[in-house]
Chains A and B, each alone.
Chain A
Amino acid sequence: MTVLRECWHRLTGAFRRNPADHDLERELRFHLEEAEEELRAKGNSPSP
């Protein structure tokens, strides 16, 4: 799961150019949370 978080930080860093990108950051965070929840539901641990 740290791989996903690392991707998120890289992506948000690339997009983080102005306050309007806060929406994108929220959107990406939601995506990661959904992915984490799905993995947990399948019995996978979110931590390495």
Chain B
Amino acid sequence: MPNGDSERTEVLRGTLDLMVLRTLVSLGPSHGYAIAARLEQVSDGALLLNMGTLYPGLMRLEQRGLVRAEWGTTEKNRRARFYAITDAGRRHLAAEKRDLDRMLSIIDALFEEPA
């Protein structure tokens, strides 16, 4: 894979990680379907995560210790795997948010310059 594609993939993965972690902070422990539904709702339909993107992403977060997962029972009495953000995940989220804010402020400053 060319370096450009690899870097772009990593940027996209990092953005997805940020959104999933933030969603878990908002919702508390949630299964994958609820996470995807929440992101779709918040983005007003702009963000549609398919299973092939969501579940590998959740697996990566779990392997990195940023979320933990355990089987539980939904309110409809179904077995589902619930993900919860860990302390390391919260620290990572805060750091990523700071980086993102910094980048956005730089972009804002660039666009404020006269053309």
Contact = CB atoms under 8 A, between A and B. Distances in A.
Interface of A: 7-8, 11, 23-24, 26-28, 30-31, 33-35
Nearest to B76: A37
Interface stretch (B16-24, B50-58, B89-97): B50-58
Given A7-B52, A24-B55, A28-B55, 16 more contacts: A8-B51, A11-B52, A23-B81, A26-B79, A27-B31, A27-B32, A27-B55, A27-B80, A28-B51, A30-B31, A30-B33, A30-B81, A31-B31, A31-B36, A31-B55, A34-B33
Contacts of B55: 11, 24, 27-28, 31
Q: Which of B31, B32, B51 has the most CB of A within 10 A?
A: B51
Contacts of B50: 7
